[in-house]
Amino acid sequence: MPLDDQEFRRERRVAFATHAALSPVSGVGGLIEQASTIDFSESGVRLRVMGQVMPGQIVDLYLGKRPERCRVVWTESASAQREIIAGLEFMYPLPDPRRRPIPPSSKFEPIN
């Protein structure tokens, strides 16, 4: 019996489509503006890219003003028009928004 794709994942994926841009960290190649996300997890993102990225490459992913540093883990051809699907791993995983931060202790501790 084949296992569901999600059973191989460390974190749950959440479908989320938005415009994105990629910039190689090495400086080789220019900004790839034609990209869009497919889904996210706490540790990475899957996206469609009109351009060329290679597994192992380090890129900055722009979803807003602040880039997220990522490593390209895998790529696969999506169409004959140079579009690929790529799996990127965040170099600094995003916090899971479902987890609430633990509030600081409210106990008073005197300073000696």
Q: How confident is the model at residue 14 (pLDDT cuts 50, 70, 90)?
A: confident
Is 97 domain-assigned? Answer: no
pTM, whole model, 2 decimals?
Answer: 0.71
Please write the tens of the pLDDT for every residue from 19-78. 999 999 876 678 889 999 999 888 899 999 998 899 999 999 999 888 999 999 999 987
Please write the tens of the pLDDT for every residue from 90-110. 998 766 555 555 555 555 555
Is 85 domain-assigned? Answer: yes
Is 1 domain-assigned? Answer: no
The predicted structure's pLDDT at residue 1: 33
Contact 72, 86 (CB under 8 A): yes
The predicted structure's pLDDT at residue 26: 78
Residue 45 C-alpha from the chain's centroid: 3
Contact 12, 6 (CB under 8 A): yes
Q: What is the mean pLDDT of residues 2-15?
A: 59
Domain of 38, in residue numbers: 12-90
Q: How confident is the model at residue 2 (pLDDT cuts 50, 70, 90)?
A: very low
Is 105 domain-assigned? Answer: no
Other Cβ atoms within 10 Å of 18 Cβ, number: 12
Is 22 domain-assigned? Answer: yes
Is 30 domain-assigned? Answer: yes
The two structure tokens encoding residue 107: 């106990």
Domain count, the chain: 1
Residue 107 to residue 50: CA distance in whole angstroms: 55
Q: Which amino acid is at 42?
A: E
Contact 36, 20 (CB under 8 A): yes
Residues of 19-35 as b/e, b for ≥16 C-beta within 10 angstroms?
ebbbbbeeeeeeebeeb
Is 66 domain-assigned? Answer: yes
Is 109 domain-assigned? Answer: no
77: CATH: 2.40.10.220
Residue 94 to residue 88: CA distance in whole angstroms: 13
The predicted structure's pLDDT at residue 78: 79
The predicted structure's pLDDT at residue 73: 96
